[in-house]
């Protein structure tokens, strides 16, 4: 169990990278606190696996350092770092029994058999593998094989951190849920530092205390699930977290307000102050949850926008209305008993929840 610091870390798979595009990881400073349960979230190809392999030592970064509890381990091999990693697809030793598979990481480190036996049985118990310990691993199904891989990651109790690289991809939804609960339990009990890579925001939000979102080789935000929801630091976070994602629109600032497709959207002073220093491409974002939509001859008032309603989906607990003005399409989340009458309505933005982004970064 350790705190992991990444010091001006960057990595390129090319021998002499020139542009930013050549880097799989752009220069980053990052801290994984001791005992944290982190979810690492991001689209395909954003560098999640690269980052994990650098932490575990499978890959040596082309720039920067990795520190475990302040000690520089950048040049150490994985076996010298004392770290566990579980991969996306099951890796098992075919010719060994399930028991030997689980014992393998311990035996390689010369731990005495009594201790090995105790650990193997404990982990097998947690993962419901007790009945299968004597079986050869090769005859098992993908689910069980991946559970064994997971077990090998958990069996050492002295590791600095456990890294999971989308470990539940091949597992069916129910077992996935069970295993996720198990991991969470193990974390609560033993408090190892855990980093859990996933594509799936639900998985991320249920597993982790802190979520790290990566995009294009960079960490774009670190925060609790709530922080990510309420205050996305990057348009990608807004779009990726939440269902449906944040509405993002191109906008201009003029006359003390934002203009989207010729419509005026009121802003607060906080927005205006922050945006006055910005030069990049401006975008305005708001979550579907924070918009209000009135229908049935509603009064436009001073801050309303007339919209066409193109679609209403009833999802049981709530409804999603797709609205349109000019070329912008905006989704609104409505309560289950809010009624939508007719094909048009009045849309209202709440300045408190309206976010401004310059070059995709949050401004205010």
Partner 1 sequence: MNKITNNKAWFLVLPVFFIVAISAIIPLMTVVNYSVQDIFDPQTRFFVGTEWFEQVLGDSRLHDALLRQIFYTLSVLFIEIPLGIAVALTLPRKGWGVSASMVLLALPLLIPWNVVGTIWQIFGRADIGLGGYVINLMGIDYNYAQNPMDAWLTVLVMDVWHWTSLIVLLCYAGLRSIPDAYYQAAKIDGASRWAVFRFIQLPKMQSVLVIGVLLRFMDSFMIYTEPFVLTGGGPGNATTFLSQFLTRMAVGQFDLGPAAAFSLVYFLIILLVCWVFYTVVMNAGKQGEQ
What is the bridge-based pairing of β-strands 4-12 and 63-68?
Answer: antiparallel
Q: What is the 3-state secondary structure (H, E, C) of the chain?
A: CCCEEEEEEEEECCCCCCCHHHEEEEEEEEEECCCCEEEEECCCCCCHHHHHHHHHCCCCCCEEEEEECCEECCCCCHHHHCCEEECCCCCCCCCCEHHHHHHHHHHCCCCCHHHHHHHHHHHHHHCCCHHHCCCEHHHCCHHHHHHHHHHHHHCCCCCCEEEEECCCCCCCHHHHHHHHHHHHHHHHHHCCEEEEEECCHHHHHHHCCEEEEEECCEEEEEECHHHHHHCCCEHHHHHHCCCCCCEEEECEEECCEEEECCEEEECCHHHHHHHCCCCCCEEEEECHHHCEEEECCCCCCCCEEEEEEEEEEECCCEEEEEEEECCEEEEEEEECCCCCCCCEEEEECCHHHCEEEECCEECC
Pick the binder of ligand ATP from 4, 6, 10, 24 (CB under 6 A): 24
From the CB of 9, what's the least distance to partner 1, in Å?
20
Minimum CB separation from partner 1 for residue 62, in Å?
19
Q: Which one of ligand ATP, partner 1, Mg ion, none interacts with residue 45, CB within 5 to 8 A by kind? A: ligand ATP
Task: Please identify, among the stretches 42-50, 95-103, 174-182, 302-310, the one whose residues bind ligand ATP according to the rule CB under 6 A.
Answer: 42-50
Residues that bind partner 1 (CB under 8 A): 53, 56-58, 77-79, 83-85, 87-89, 91, 93-97, 104-105, 108-109, 134-136, 138-139, 149, 152
Residue with the CB atom nearest ligand ATP in the bound state = 49
Q: How far apart are CA 283 and CA 155, in angstroms?
A: 48
Considering the complex, state which of residue 24 and residue 211 has its C-beta at the smaller distance from ligand ATP. Answer: 24
* CA-based nearest residue to 270, from 254, 256, 280, 287: 256
Is residue 56 at the binding interface for Mg ion, with CB under 5 A as the rule? Answer: no
Select from 45-53, 151-159, 293-301, 349-357 the region that touches ligand ATP (CB under 6 A).
45-53
Q: Which residues, 6+ apart, have CB-to-CB distance to 61 below 8 Å?
A: 9, 10, 11, 25, 54, 74
Of the candidate residues 2, 5, 6, 50, the single one contacting ligand ATP (CB under 6 A):
50
Among 12, 49, 101, 328, binds Mg ion (CB under 5 A): 49
Stretch near Mg ion under the rule CB under 5 A, chosen from 47-55, 140-148, 222-230, 315-323 = 47-55
Identify which of residues 56 and 323 has a Cβ nearer to Mg ion in the complex.
56
Q: Is there binding between residue 85 and ligand ATP (CB under 6 A)?
A: no
Q: Which does 264 bind (CB under 5 to 8 A by kind): Mg ion, partner 1, ligand ATP, none?
A: none
Q: Which of 48, 145, 176, 218 binds ligand ATP (CB under 6 A)?
A: 48
Residues 115-174 that bind Mg ion (CB under 5 A): none
Residue 46 interacts with, from ligand ATP, Mg ion, partner 1, none (CB under 5-8 Å by kind): ligand ATP
Which CB atom, from 49 or from 328, has the smaller least distance to Mg ion?
49
Which part of the chain contacts ligand ATP (CB under 6 A), choosing from 48-56, 271-279, 286-294, 318-326?
Answer: 48-56
Q: Which is nearer to ligand ATP, 5 or 165 (CB)?
A: 165
Stretch of residues binding ligand ATP (CB under 6 A), selected from 41-49, 103-111, 123-131, 175-183: 41-49
* Interacting residues with ligand ATP (CB under 6 A): 13, 24, 42, 44-50
């Amino acid at each position: 169990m350790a705190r992991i610091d990444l010091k001006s870390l960057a990595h390129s798979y090319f021998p002499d990278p020139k542009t930013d595009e050549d880097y799989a990881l752009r220069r980053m400073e990052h801290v994984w606190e001791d005992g944290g349960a982190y979810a690492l979230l991001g689209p395909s190809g954003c560098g999640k696996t690269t980052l994990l392999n650098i932490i575990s030592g499978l890959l040596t970064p082309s720039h920067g350092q990795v520190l475990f509890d302040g000690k520089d381990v950048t040049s150490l091999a994985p076996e010298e770092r004392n770290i566990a990693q579980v991969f996306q697809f099951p890796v098992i030793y075919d010719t060994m029994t399930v028991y030997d598979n689980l014992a393998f990481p311990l035996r390689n480190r010369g731990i005495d058999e009594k201790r090995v036996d105790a650990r193997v049985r404990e982990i097998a118990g947690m993962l419901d593998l007790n009945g299968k310990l004597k079986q050869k691993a090769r005859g098992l199904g993908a689910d069980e094989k991946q559970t064994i891989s997971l077990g090998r990651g958990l069996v050492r109790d002295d590791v600095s951190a456990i890294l999971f690289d989308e470990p539940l991809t091949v597992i069916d939804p129910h077992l996935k849920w069970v295993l996720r609960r198990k991991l969470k339990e193990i974390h609560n009990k033993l408090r190892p530092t855990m980093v859990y890579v996933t594509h799936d925001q639900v998985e991320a939000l249920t597993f982790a205390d802190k979520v790290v979102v990566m995009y294009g080789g960079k960490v774009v935000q670190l925060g609790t699930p709530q922080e990510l929801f309420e205050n996305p630091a990057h348009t990608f976070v807004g779009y990726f977290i939440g269902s449906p994602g944040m509405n993002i629109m191109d906008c201009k600032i003029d006359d003390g307000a934002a203009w989207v497709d010729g419509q005026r959207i009121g802003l607060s002073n906080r927005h205006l102050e922050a945006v006055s220093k910005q030069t990049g491409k401006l975008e305005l974002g708001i979550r579907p949850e924070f918009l209000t939509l009135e229908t049935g001859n509603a009064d436009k008032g001073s801050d309303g926008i007339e919209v066409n309603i193109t679609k209403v989906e009833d999802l049981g607990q709530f409804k999603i209305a797709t609205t349109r003005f000019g070329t912008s399409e905006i989704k609104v989340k409505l309560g289950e008993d809010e009624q939508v009458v007719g094909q048009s309505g009045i849309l209202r933005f709440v300045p408190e929840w309206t976010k401004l982004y310059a070059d995709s970064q949050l401004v205010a």
